[in-house]
Amino acid sequence: MAVNGIASIGECMIELSGQSGDNWRMGFAGDTFNTLWALHALSPDRPATYVSAFGDDPFSCDQIDFFSENGIGIGGSPVIAGARPGLYAITLTGAERAFTYWRADAAARRLASDPAALAKSLENQALVYFSGITVAILDEAARKTLLTAIAAARAAGSLVAFDPNYRPRLWSSREAAQAAILEALAVADIALPTFPDEQMLFGDATPEATAERLGKLTGEVIVKNGEQPALIAANGNSQSVEAVHVATPVDTTGAGDSFNGGYLAARLAGHPPADAARRAHKVAAAVVQVRGALAPFETLRAAFDS
């Protein structure tokens, strides 16, 4: 069977976003799900699968239903009796966001608890995507199971993309994060780091230093840097691609994740890296003009094709 699907692995949480006064809006989001959302919007002919683990509580059921309503399956992801999803709340100062998390016992930490089901979920995927948060929420044994499954999917023909997405509070130490992220990069074809994260974790002085370091580990590196240009290093060449400036952003949540989704959708469609980055910047610019991490599919498509 030809590889055609897109799969993203990680933790999708309950998202509470502050509105006016004491009003809050509930949704579902998380770094790898945000990327899959954009990927699915921009690659609608490819089956989309979110690979995780879920509880059997009403919120988990609503989450799975939300995926299904938007054309996203969960493959062989386990549904665990008594488990529940993680939760985070976004508070905004202008367009800049701050997060508060409740996730220590989230079901997603058991996404590698059934190795056979995990491997089955990654079969026949044109693209497998995961992040530093995916590996951070797993213990050492589960992380090994995950990377083994991803390596097998890659050997079977899947393109593997990885965003290191370093979040210090999820790690026991900086050294533990460095080791795990380097192991993850060893099974990846495309790396999508964010420069301030790499500067914090590895001490890189410039985006060029990040691209050079990661270019020794993966064939294609895209260094994101907020409103600054993205730096692409692929096939022995490097190129900067200007970001799209948004004068009055509404909410920057999910911008980098959506950039990843736009970039990967463009690469799957055959666009060269520089054009893919230009399209990805447009997608990210559209996302910061709506509240929450998930922009409507039509908004994402219009930006991608503009």
Residues recognised as catalytic: 257
Closest CA to 102 of 86, 121, 122: 86
Q: Which of 161, 11, 167 is nearest to 74 (CA)?
A: 11
Question: What distance in Å separates the CA atoms of residue 112 and residue 84, rounded to the nearest whole number?
Answer: 16
Residue 283 CB partners (closer than 8 Å, separation 6+): 38, 42, 258, 259, 261, 262, 300, 303, 304
Token look-up 């370093």 returns 166
Tokens linked to 270: 């055959």
Helix (H, G, I), strand (E, B) or coil at 51: strand
One-letter amino acid of 62: D
Nearest in space to 9 (alpha carbons), one of 85, 104, 109: 109
* H helix intervals, 163-233: 174-185, 195-202, 207-215
Q: Specify whether the CB–CB gap between 5 and 44 falls below 8 A.
A: no
- 231, 240 in Cβ contact below 8 A? yes
Q: How far is it, in rounded angstroms, from Cα 51 to Cα 73?
A: 8
